[in-house]
Each structure stands twice: as C-alpha cells, then as structure tokens.
Amino acid sequence: MLVTLEACWLKTLIFASSISMLITYYGHSCFLIEVNGKKLLFDPFIRPNPKAAHIDFASIKADYILVSHGHEDHTADLVDLARQTNAMVICNWEIHQWVQNKGIIKTHSMNIGGHWIFDFGKVKCVNAVHSSSLPDGTYGGNPMGFLVEAPEGKFYYAGDTALHYDMKLIGDYKKMNFSFLPIGNNYTMGVDNAVIASEFIRCDTIIGMHFDTFDPIKIDHKEAMQKFEQAGKELHLMKIGETIEL
Ligand code: NI
Ligand code: MN
C-alpha cells in the first residue's frame, strides 16, 4: 500500500515537473511550439526576413502549420514548408482553397468560433481585428487567432490584431498559460494596447511578436519590458532562433 502511494506521488511529481512547452522563435510572428509530441508551426515567414537569415530553413520540421491570415509576412513560406514538412495546414476556408490550388492537399479548414480536436489537442479559432489578403491578391477571408489546449497547458496565439473587446471572452473562457501578442504597433496593436489585452485575457505571461522586422514596427525593448512589468506581467522578447520552455 505504502509503495503504491509512494509510486503515485512520484508519478505526480514527475508529471507536474514535465508540464511545459518548448517554444522556438523563427522571427516576426513565426513560432514552433511542441505539444503532446507534435510540432505546431505558426505563420511561416522566414526566408524573406533578413533578421532570420541565420535560420536553417531546410531543417525545420512541423506536424501542423497554423495560419492566422493571408498576408505575406505570415504566409511567404507556407506552401514550401507544407511541402517540405508534409505538415497539415490549419487555416480558414479561403486560405485552405488557396493552398489546395497550389497542390497542398493536407489541410484542415476552420473559421472563427469553431473548434476541432486534433491528435495533439484542441484548437479554437477566435476573432482578430485586422485584414487578410493573400500575396497574389486573392481574397484571404477573415483574420483569426487560435486558442490551443493540450495536455501540457493552454495558450493563445493572437495573430495580427488590434486590441478588441472580444478578448475578454478569452479571459472568461479558460486560463491560458501564456499568450502570443503582437506588440509592434502601426499594423497591429502596440505595447500599451497589448498590456490592456493581457489584462482582458487575464494572462500574465506574454510572448511578443510582430515587432522589429520592419522600420514602422521597431520597438524600444526596455520600455516594453517595463510597461508589462508595471502591470504585473512578464513579457518575453525572444531572440530569433532561441528556444524557451514555458
Ligand atoms: Ni497582417
Ligand atoms: Mn503582419
């Protein structure tokens, strides 16, 4: 009996200490998150990004590629990476049609408000306030964000978005372990609004994205860190190529 209890306790300890996710940054809004033994890649824009020139594109592996919207700074490497990795592309209906037309048949189309259970966990598509057209001018549908729920935890990937009141729904919905928020301003919300967003979603650990890639979205790192700190939040500004565990 004692032995069994001890074994149970040990198992709980090991389980508790292993609850974390590996996050790798490929620049701009492109991240690879490993959950439940699967690699999830978001918004692939690597080769056209001079700041990500040191990333070995050919070695990137993914099981799923999630696409928030059609803009080139989120889809430039989508078709080639889908081909290279044989990953399933998760995106809205319009982007699904666009990639299918380019010969990528492993797709799962979704739209805002819907969720689907994949082998790694649950993906729910949420509102993003932005625009969405594909690099060749094709209509890209509506932009979205993703809520991902896996055994290791939950996270929110906001995509390109303004601060909006629907983010409060996420705060009411479930506790996110961490969230990816755009902070570069000009095309999306900036740092000040992202701090408010982190309050709306009630999330204390934020990973910044969509900053520094282009001149209009260059930010002051120290100031950004301070603003989140003053709000009692932690902001991660990852280096391109860096992997962290959260
Ligand atoms: Ni965009
Ligand atoms: Mn963008």
Dihedral sign (CA 187, 221, 177, 24): positive
pLDDT at position 59 is 98
Please say whether the beta carbons of 83 and 104 come within 8 A: yes
* Residues of the chain under the 70 pLDDT cut: 1-18
Q: Around 92, how many Cα atoms within 13 Å sit in the side-chain half-sphere? A: 27
pLDDT at position 2 is 47
* 8 Cα to the center of ligand 1, angstroms: 48
Find how far residue 34's CA is from the centre of its chain.
11
Domains of the chain: 2-245 (3.60.15.10)
Collapse the DSSP code of 122 into the 3-class scheme (helix H, G, I; strand E, B; otherwise coil) and give the result.
Answer: strand
Query: In the beta sheet, which residues pair with residue 108?
Result: 90
Token pair for 10: 């040990």
* 16 Cα to the center of ligand 2, angstroms: 36
Please say whether the beta carbons of 90 and 157 come within 8 A: no
* 44 Cα to the center of ligand 2, angstroms: 11
* 2 Cα to the center of ligand 2, angstroms: 57
* 85 Cα to the center of ligand 1, angstroms: 24
pLDDT at position 151 is 96
pLDDT at position 19 is 82
Q: Which residues surround ligand 1, an ion (CB under 5 A)?
A: 71, 160
Give the ligand whose atoms come closest to the C-alpha of residue 216. Answer: 2
> Residue type at 80?
D
Range list of H helices, the chain: 2-17, 72-75, 78-85, 93-101, 167-173, 191-200, 221-230
